[in-house]
Amino acid sequence: MRAVWLLAAVALGCARPVPQCPPVPACPSAAASTPPAPAAVASASAAATEPKPRPAPREKPRAQLFDAGTAEAGFFPRGDAFELGLDGKALDQLLGEAEATKSDALIVLKDGKVIAERYFGQKRGPIETMSVTKSITALAVVMLVESGKLASLDQPISKFIPEFGTGKRSQVTVRHLLTQSSGLAHGKDAKALNAQKDRTAFSRRASVVDEPGSVFSYNNEATQLLSVVVEKAAGKPIDAYLDEALFRPLGIRGWQWDRDRGNNVQTYYGLALEARHLARIGQLLLDQGSFQGRQLISKQGVAQLHAPSDKSPYYGLLWWIRYQRVVHELDRAAKVEGVELGPLSDKAFGSAEAFWLEAGARLGPGERDALARFVAGGGKLTRERPDHPIGFYADGSLGQRLAIFAEDQLVVVRQRRRRPAAEENESLSFPGLLKLAQALVPR
């Protein structure tokens, strides 16, 4: 009976929808969820108290770390991966997968030094960063607040876009645009927006479909409105403003930023940067906004970028947040008649299976039956929570990424140019990049 109730409970728990952005670990399969016998549980508990085996000795990398002829001049100094504490095998895997996914650029920085810089036979040059543009746009907004040109992130956008001065649209703030919680109508993708001659004018007509600030919904149209906000606050278009306030101080030259046929700078995509440019921005953020003794962004401003927003723990101000793991814990709102849930309320579990095994070990047969009936009736007993943020990253279509891991003092950049449609597939976006980058520093 115990096996039946536990298997059913786990299977029902896994039937709940899982957030799509970013993906979280899947629920365990039914086969994997069959609980062990009590003796096995006791044995496993005893094993958990034994010392963990020591990690395997680090290896030196064997892969090619730099392209022949790539000049060191004009960039950060090079460093030795092994001496800086990186695992060579993990670095080999990262570089191998980068090449297998047809990357056009990959850069790894550790402690401010270049560990790897590969272009895989492709020419260096600006590459469209896609939605990484959004994250760079957020830097402009934060810098404008710090300079006093923008009153605050909570300023209504009607200050800059007068037609937003009435109705529910008057409640939309700059922060809502940055946290994807504006409540404005938008397409499922960017196709309708891309088809417009004047994309800003199109975005300015968006109506409110959700209460502003109430729902996270990834919104290209709302992000494009920041082009207007920045231009009005800065007194110049965002490309000119960032060239002066950020790019030139960082030594970034030769970038490109698209405008639509209405001559609007695009803030939901459109910025083309070299991999070295992105690496410089990443190192700036890793160094708390400081570059060569000059504080371009305050420490508080950088922290705001990756502070979880109210409606999504995975999202800050147009930057995604990376966590070490997702834990499962008791939903404190859950009330099950005849069951004392207190012993389970202060624990976090690495999987749904681990939660149910603990519940099965602590509760009596009657309580286990009550839980099974509760879940079978649609009750929600557990919730998922991301645990221990370890970094933040900018993410764009085709696998454009700029990732910053503060604890490990790592910056990782990956870029890929668009290929003909017949050559494109999801695997080429290098979905495993962040996981492989995390493995570079042994734990």
Q: Which of 232-246, 281-295, 357-371 has the lowest mean pLDDT?
A: 357-371
- pLDDT(414) > 80: yes
pLDDT of residue 332: 83
Q: Are residues 133 and 171 in the same domain?
A: yes
Same domain? For 137 and 255 the reply is: yes
Are 170 and 225 part of one and the same domain? yes
Distance, CA of 422 to CA of 427 (rounded, Å): 14
323 inside domain: no
pLDDT at position 344: 85
pLDDT of residue 213 exceeding 50, the answer is: yes
pLDDT greater at residue 207 or residue 56: 207
**Inside any domain, residue 306:** yes
Tell me the C-alpha distance between 366 and 174, whole Å: 53
Q: Is residue 327 part of a domain?
A: no
Tell me the pLDDT band of 241, cut-offs 50, 70 and 90: very high
Asked if residue 78 has pLDDT above 50, the reply is yes
The pLDDT of residue 53 = 60
Both 114 and 145 in a single domain? no
Number of structural domains the chain divides into: 3
My answer on whether 35 and 99 are in the same domain is no
Is pLDDT of 405 > 60? Answer: yes
User: Which pLDDT score is estimated for 360?
Assistant: 85
Q: How high is the pLDDT of residue 422?
A: 84
Same domain, yes or no: 112 and 72: yes
| pLDDT > 90: percent of the chain | 72
Q: Looking at the domain assignment, is residue 324 inside a domain?
A: no
Is there a single domain that holds both residue 158 and residue 245? yes
Q: Does a structural domain hold residue 396?
A: no
* Residue-wise pLDDT tens digits, 349-381: 998 889 888 888 888 888 888 888 888 988 888
Q: For residues 148 and 278, state if they share a domain.
A: yes
Report the pLDDT value the prediction gives residue 158, as an integer from 0 to 100: 98
* Residue-level pLDDT at 342: 83
More confident site: 38 or 281: 281
Lowest mean pLDDT among 35-39, 60-64, 158-162, 250-254: 35-39
Residue 204 domain-assigned? Answer: yes
Are 347 and 313 found together in one domain? no
* Confidence at residue 55, expressed as pLDDT on a 0 to 100 scale: 65
Give residue 19's pLDDT band: very low, low, confident or very high (50, 70, 90): very low
Q: If you average pLDDT over residues 178-206, what whole number do you get?
A: 97
**For 149-174, what is the mean pLDDT?**
98
Angle, helices 365-376/2-14, rounded to nearest 10 degrees: 30
Question: What's the mean pLDDT when you consider all of the chain?
Answer: 89
Positive/negative CA dihedral, 243, 193, 393, 271: negative
pLDDT for the residue 363: 86
Residue 42 and residue 137 share a domain: no
User: Is 392 contained in some domain?
Assistant: no
Predicted pLDDT at 50 = 52
Range of the domain at 72: 55-120+403-443
- 190 with 74, same domain? no
pLDDT band at 24 (very low <50, low <70, confident <90, very high): very low
Residue 169 within any structural domain of the chain = yes
**Higher-confidence residue: 295 or 378?**
295
Domain co-membership, 267 together with 362: no
